[in-house]
Amino acid sequence: MDARVRPAPKAVANPDRKPDRKHDILLAAEKLFAQRGFHAVTIRQIAEEAGVPLALVGYYYGQKHELFHAIFAHWNSTIEERVARLRAVPLDAQDPRTLPAIIEAFIGPVLRLRSSSEGEYYALLVARELYHTTDETDQVLRAFFDPLAHAFIDALHLALPQTTRGQVAWVYQFALGSLLHHISDSRIERLSKGENTSADPAAALLLASFIVGGIRAALASALAAPRATPPKPRAKPRAKPRAKPWAMPRNKPAAQASVQSSNPLCTTRSPKP
């Protein structure tokens, strides 16, 4: 996946703007994490990018992983917008417009954020860091993105009631992969020989149609395929009871008489009077 970012010019200082160092640190961290990755960035580099003393980063945000988490908390409104748009969709399984509406709620806010100057680095950060699960990204996934995923999987399952939740979870992941690749890829400019630009908002309709068509085709193939019935477990044969070596035959006197008569060393002695 191409996750390269064109270097953006630093903002020109506005004399009328009151400095917000805490916000500047957050934006600097967001930009550097998106460009280089979480583990390749130091607190010192973030302080230099934000133009603040090194100690101020720790004063506002604590350790680096806490600053990383704060970035996603800051942009949580984007997740809330996607959930709100999803709740506005009438989940009618008989209406062919239901699935496209769910996908539009899923990708629309992200594409608009990616095309904006203020949300460009956050969208790239999501695409880059959440592809590679680490302890830091796993915490972010669980806190912010797992509830979002469950909401969309629930909606897809209601819109496609003939499917299993497992099948719907797969196609959700496939749709997520398409979205993340689209907002982070830059090869399209070379591959199209200059006809396309990276993360072009005009490609939103094409992306939505691709995801909707892919979901329908994938689930149709899965539902048409015969389900393999698991083989029944074989009944274990009953083990024959082992003869106890100390067990005596039931007809004890007859058995003893037989043994004594066949053994010439066995003699019966009468007790002396």
Tens digit of pLDDT for each residue in 81-121? Answer: 999 999 999 999 999 999 999 999 999 999 999 988 888 89
Tell me whether residue 173 is in a domain.
yes
For residue 139, the enclosing domain spans 75-224
Tell me whether residue 254 is in a domain.
no
Whether the CB-CB separation of 175 and 103 falls below 8 Å is answered with: yes
Tell me whether residue 201 is in a domain.
yes
**Which domain CATH number covers 162?**
1.10.357.10
Tell me whether residue 234 is in a domain.
no
Whether the CB-CB separation of 110 and 183 falls below 8 Å is answered with: yes
Q: How many domains does the chain have?
A: 2
Determine the residue type at 181: H
How far apart CA 34 and CA 123 sit, in angstroms, is 8
Q: What is the pTM of this model?
A: 0.73
Whether the CB-CB separation of 72 and 140 falls below 8 Å is answered with: yes
Coil, helix or strand at residue 18:
coil
Q: Using the 8-state DSSP alphabet, how is residue 197 labeled?
A: -
Tokens 């009077």, located at residue: 273
Domain co-membership, 211 together with 179: yes
Residue 6 phi, psi dihedral angles, 5° rounding: -70, 130
pLDDT at 36 over 50: yes
Domain co-membership, 204 together with 85: yes
How far apart CA 158 and CA 99 sit, in angstroms, is 10
- Average pLDDT on 153-167 reads 96
Short-list 63, 19, 13, CA closest to 41: 63
Domain co-membership, 184 together with 80: yes
Q: What is the 3 state secondary structure string of 92-129?
A: CCCCCCHHHHHHHHHHHHHHHHHHCCCCHHHHHHHHHH
Cβ–Cβ contacts within 10 Å for residue 162, how many?
9
Tens digit of pLDDT for each residue in 51-64? Answer: 999 999 999 999 99
Tokens for 194, please give them: 């200059």
Tokens 């583990």, located at residue: 39
* Residue-level pLDDT at 12: 44
How far does the chain reach from its first CA to its final CA, in angstroms? 110
How far apart CA 107 and CA 265 sit, in angstroms, is 100
Domain co-membership, 111 together with 212: yes
pLDDT confidence of 256, banded at 50, 70, 90?
low
How far apart CA 7 and CA 4 sit, in angstroms, is 9
Tens digit of pLDDT for each residue in 61-89? Answer: 999 999 999 999 999 999 999 999 999 99
